[in-house]
Amino acid sequence: MSKLQDIIKISRKIIYYKGYQATSISDIMDEAHIGKGQFYHYFSSKHDLGLAVVDDLVKEWERDVFEGIFAADLDPIVKLNKMLNRTLTIHTDQEGKSGCPAGNLAIEMSEHDETFRLKVHYIFDRWILSIEGALSELKAQGHLPSDIDAKQHSQAIVSMIEGAILLMKSQKEVSFLTNAIAIIRSQYRLS
């Protein structure tokens, strides 16, 4: 891994746990064992680093979710279950209890920085569109009623997952997420 990628990875972890606003350049330099000169060699500002962190998050979603799951030649039930399993694995792991990295940034930064908002917005739009595609496939197969609005339902699924993650983080209780995913599986006959 390059030093640049190492700094982004470390910064992403710190921002995930502390939030973007509470993270200082000193926090990142200390954890990455770099000086100001090396930091500014790679990034012009904390804002520049923050955008690199969001870009790294987008790349992960592209690789693991949009390409790795939804673009794969799989049955739509398998796609949706893989996405739900990934969500459970990430957020029930000890390290995943600080919320959704994209959701956290959306809550913290969307009202304050349009560039951040648009980058995070891309993740959610692409996620909703991917689920919509899988639900449309299920409709075409006759697995779901033909009158279901796939876009509306995909928005509701993402909202339910993100809301459950937020409540899980706030209440320190994983059942919010496990219950939401169980309801999604039941509602769309994924089991």
What's the pLDDT tens digit per position in 21-75?
999 999 999 999 999 999 999 999 999 999 999 999 999 999 999 999 999 999 9
Domain spans in the chain, listed from the N-terminal domain onward: 53-187
Q: Torsions phi, psi of 33, nearest 5?
A: 55, 50
d(CA 53, CA 158): 22
Instruction: List, in order, residues 6 or more apart from 153 with CB less than 8 Å away.
Output: 131, 132, 135, 188
Side chain identity at residue 146, one-letter code: S
| pLDDT, tens digit (0-9, with 9 covering 90-100), for 111-124 | 888 998 999 999 99
Which CATH superfamily does the domain covering 53-187 fall into?
Tetracycline Repressor, domain 2 (1.10.357.10)
Instruction: List, in order, residues 6 or more apart from 39 with CB less than 8 Å away.
Output: 7, 25, 28, 29, 32, 49
| pLDDT, tens digit (0-9, with 9 covering 90-100), for 96-146 | 578 888 998 888 888 888 998 999 999 999 999 999 999 999 999 999 999
d(CA 35, CA 39): 6
CA dihedral 61, 136, 107, 123 (to 10 degrees): 30
What pLDDT, on a 0 to 100 scale, did the predictor assign at position 148?
A: 96
pTM: 0.92
d(CA 101, CA 23): 14
